[in-house]
Structure 1
């Protein structure tokens, strides 16, 4: 059985050090490794809460760096030299990610109560005079408890039948009860925003993470006869894969994190998305308030970010991580996701936990979020290893040759050999006033990929780019001003036969099929001379060339 402990020093000693180097596999074969015991989940949500984090940089002073930030380099410029120092280095990464990417995740509220039964979990939260409540359904496997459990976001993640067959319960979590999609950034809705305010600058992904943390709080307080508090996993696909990725990174009580096909705002490195042709950062930022409001200033300049998603991967270390991806849909950014996994795996290796990370994009079925035969066995092996404590299968890096990233192109730092001594500066109590995240307005300057038809003359022009997969597509439309500024715009286009818009962002639309008129929203109607803005939409059906027109509303 896995030894479980709340402190990283203990956990790091139980992980075997004999791990072969991770590498891309052109033929998508497993990389053999030693198979150490699983690193236990922590007994606390944030082991680094007592670390003193130096002052964070201001957004306006951030330098441009096309390479991935060094995960081993502290804010004071020194690199960590021991495994014990990772705890406070992780705390620095957490604060940077909160400030510039996701928004702040508040600590446990003043009061969290609830119930756990064989069919449901209820959660009641009260904090500073505000309260909220939500619930989640529970499905138990056969046998007698207490059971480990996997939180499945929106009913859309890893195969629930395989999860229960492996011996784990399923917690069906509705993220929209905690952070609702389809709301403007200044009027967010759901249990999180009922407690922290509808104008909170924290994005939906972090709100969803807060909700899962509160579920774990309730499980910890229960009598422990139904669900185990020390053996929780999380999974989700697509937008819920984004959520699972963030949930696992920001709660160290999660023993196993399993995001699937998470796409932009999920696992793929932000710096790689524009060049890969995945859903643009401005599109992901505008489609839903998934990311924190502060991220709006980086959609066109991700190289200014002081963090990237390889460090979110590293935040999960040394706990179990199983990233499942789809190399057949460019819109998901699988090449950039593989780079994130390879970069984060360097931290796993440095901590002696290289066998605890798996990245798997070697699949045949290109359908989005399909149940795949290739993943069933490793899924159950991960549950056995990290949740049941009965297995020791080593992780594997299985990157499809269709979307293989090259970490060497993205880093100018080397992985250190970390000693086992104490940290050079012991943790201290953090400041009483946490960093604030300034609100931002959505940008009018998106990523630098040029439109197919550059603007000429006066008035406005529009150009469409499409990322398609079997059964659906995402269209990004760039609206450009000519020699004169534009004050309000309307774009008309005709969708391919049979195509239906399921959601749109950064524009109002007149219909969901056929001839559709898109008009600006309040924040992007004014475009300076020679400038541009973007809007987009997702649709079902087969894509085809679309010729947009642009004029005054």
Structure 2
């Protein structure tokens, strides 16, 4: 699918998406075109309550997806809904607006757009093995994976300065950072969506800067905790990312908002919408309206994960930190995995949950799956086994409680 990257537009603009989707700011809100029929984005008041994880295969017009072509259309709908209600909108910035300059293992990204100019630097650590131009893992803030192992595979590691692009100090950070210098402090984009926009500009720069010796067609993204939420947003809204590895991303990452609310009712201390919207600016400002009504969301994190499909996604999680809601992450991942199964590529989505270590301290026990995913999806080695859906926790995937839909075999 190539159309979703055209979805995003800033307020007051109109972007026609190859007769499939229209996303624009109008007096009536955003509109989606599906199968030739224009549909208004639903208002919060019109959203029905649904305690179960919403059916990712059900179109806004009520029809169910039966083909891969229809699934591509459904992804554009999910992307629009996720931007409207959770992330805010990713501006449609042409690649021609960005240039890159390379010096001293650093690429300087310059963006001239919207009558403004911004610049940021991304440092690159190169492997001593492998072949130029190198595949690379982009770390949101930094990579907390086993970077030595990544480099030994012949893959570079790029540090993306997300806090410069959009601040995330606390709830008062909204509208601060380079992104908002360009688009205004009142832009709908949350910090995570601003980071996704910034990584897209980094990729534009890498494509134009051969001196950097990075293969822009072989890129992955990672980040841990709050930056793991950002890594998922990058993978969901940037199709040039081949491999997405959110590490211990918790709420707004691997954990479903609905399941986490249920965990609170069961006496668990986990992060929910009502708490997260007061802590920081990782989601758009009006996401707070779902603080006590997560069951009104027309999607959940399993659907956000599904925006990555059929590209590769590996969730790295930790059973030892209750705040991350490991039970919710396990349930959400199993529901999301059904999308890759429907597409006939179940080995492109994995989940590994291992405890007995500190937050963001990558354990050796998860190195085999990390290595396998990098080898297969960044190094084009089809030998490794990437079928991994595992947890060392005692929780179970109670599908009947959370899923009332079946996954079709998409033609």
Q: Distance in 2 between matches of 1:79 and 1:396?
A: 28
Whether the 8 Å CA contact 1:142–1:167 is kept in 2: the answer is: yes
Q: Distance in 2 between matches of 1:61 and 1:245?
A: 28
Question: Do structure 1's residue 115 and structure 2's residue 107 form an aligned pair?
Answer: no
> Could you tell me which residue of structure 2 aligns to residue 259 of structure 1?
246
Unpaired runs of 5+ residues, structure 2, are: 9-16, 22-31, 33-38
Whether the 8 Å CA contact 2:319–2:392 is kept in 1: the answer is: yes
Give the total of aligned pairs: 378
Q: Distance in 2 between matches of 1:328 and 1:88?
A: 38
> Could you tell me which residue of structure 2 aligns to residue 235 of structure 1?
222
Q: Where do 1:193-212 residues align within 5 Å?
A: 193-212=180-199
Whether the 8 Å CA contact 1:186–1:198 is kept in 2: the answer is: no
Q: Distance in 2 between matches of 1:237 and 1:175?
A: 12
SS in 2 for 1:151: strand
> Could you tell me which residue of structure 2 aligns to residue 310 of structure 1?
302
Moved more, 106-115 or 380-389: 106-115
Q: Distance in 2 between matches of 1:328 and 1:405?
A: 18
Instruction: Please report how far the alpha carbon of residue 186 of structure 1 lies from its aligned counterpart in structure 2 after TM superposition.
Output: 8.1
Q: Distance in 2 between matches of 1:201 and 1:47?
A: 15
Whether the 8 Å CA contact 1:273–1:281 is kept in 2: the answer is: no
Question: Do structure 1's residue 78 and structure 2's residue 63 form an aligned pair?
Answer: yes
Alignment partner of 1:96 out of 71, 77, 81: 81
Instruction: Please report how far the alpha carbon of residue 337 of structure 1 lies from its aligned counterpart in structure 2 after TM superposition.
Output: 1.1
Q: Where do 1:433-452 residues align within 5 Å?
A: none
The verdict on how the C-alpha distance between 1:90 and 1:77 changes in structure 2, with shifts beyond 3 A counting, is same
Alignment partner of 1:283 out of 275, 280, 293: 275
SS in 2 for 1:170: strand
Alignment partner of 2:118 out of 112, 132, 136: 132
Instruction: Please report how far the alpha carbon of residue 47 of structure 1 lies from its aligned counterpart in structure 2 after TM superposition.
Output: 8.6
> Could you tell me which residue of structure 2 aligns to residue 105 of structure 1?
90
Superposed CA offset, 1:352-380 (max 9, x none) = 1111111011x242311112111112211
The verdict on how the C-alpha distance between 1:100 and 1:44 changes in structure 2, with shifts beyond 3 A counting, is closer
SS in 2 for 1:401: coil
Alignment partner of 2:408 out of 416, 425, 430: 416
SS in 2 for 1:310: helix
SS in 2 for 1:88: helix
The verdict on how the C-alpha distance between 1:102 and 1:185 changes in structure 2, with shifts beyond 3 A counting, is farther
Instruction: Please report how far the alpha carbon of residue 44 of structure 1 lies from its aligned counterpart in structure 2 after TM superposition.
Output: 8.5
Whether the 8 Å CA contact 2:173–2:280 is kept in 1: the answer is: no
Q: Distance in 2 between matches of 1:161 and 1:186?
A: 33
Q: Distance in 2 between matches of 1:71 and 1:44?
A: 16
Q: Distance in 2 between matches of 1:187 and 1:269?
A: 24
SS in 2 for 1:89: helix
Q: Distance in 2 between matches of 1:291 and 1:263?
A: 14
Question: Do structure 1's residue 401 and structure 2's residue 393 form an aligned pair?
Answer: yes
SS in 2 for 1:317: coil
Whether the 8 Å CA contact 1:264–1:279 is kept in 2: the answer is: yes
Q: Where do 1:80-479 residues align within 5 Å?
A: 80-109=65-94, 111-117=97-103, 119-143=105-129, 144-182=131-169, 184=171, 187-223=174-210, 226-276=213-263, 277=268, 278-361=270-353, 363-392=354-383, 393-419=385-411
SS in 1 for 2:367: helix
Structure with a larger share of its residues in helix: 2
Q: Distance in 2 between matches of 1:364 and 1:165?
A: 25
Superposed CA offset, 1:303-324 (max 9, x none) = 0001100001111111111101
SS in 2 for 1:87: helix
Q: Distance in 2 between matches of 1:403 and 1:178?
A: 38
> Could you tell me which residue of structure 1 aligns to residue 50 of structure 2?
65
Whether the 8 Å CA contact 1:328–1:402 is kept in 2: the answer is: no
Q: Distance in 2 between matches of 1:407 and 1:259?
A: 23
Bigger Rg, which one: 1
Superposed CA offset, 1:237-259 (max 9, x none) = 11111111111111111100001
Moved more, 305-314 or 123-132: 123-132
Instruction: Please report how far the alpha carbon of residue 191 of structure 1 lies from its aligned counterpart in structure 2 after TM superposition.
Output: 1.3
Whether the 8 Å CA contact 1:381–1:391 is kept in 2: the answer is: no
Whether the 8 Å CA contact 2:206–2:212 is kept in 1: the answer is: no
Q: Distance in 2 between matches of 1:127 and 1:357?
A: 36
SS in 1 for 2:84: helix
The verdict on how the C-alpha distance between 1:46 and 1:381 changes in structure 2, with shifts beyond 3 A counting, is farther
Instruction: Please report how far the alpha carbon of residue 285 of structure 1 lies from its aligned counterpart in structure 2 after TM superposition.
Output: 1.3
Unpaired runs of 5+ residues, structure 1, are: 1-7, 9-41, 420-553
Q: Distance in 2 between matches of 1:334 and 1:46?
A: 34
Whether the 8 Å CA contact 1:81–1:417 is kept in 2: the answer is: yes
SS in 2 for 1:77: coil
The verdict on how the C-alpha distance between 1:407 and 1:167 changes in structure 2, with shifts beyond 3 A counting, is farther
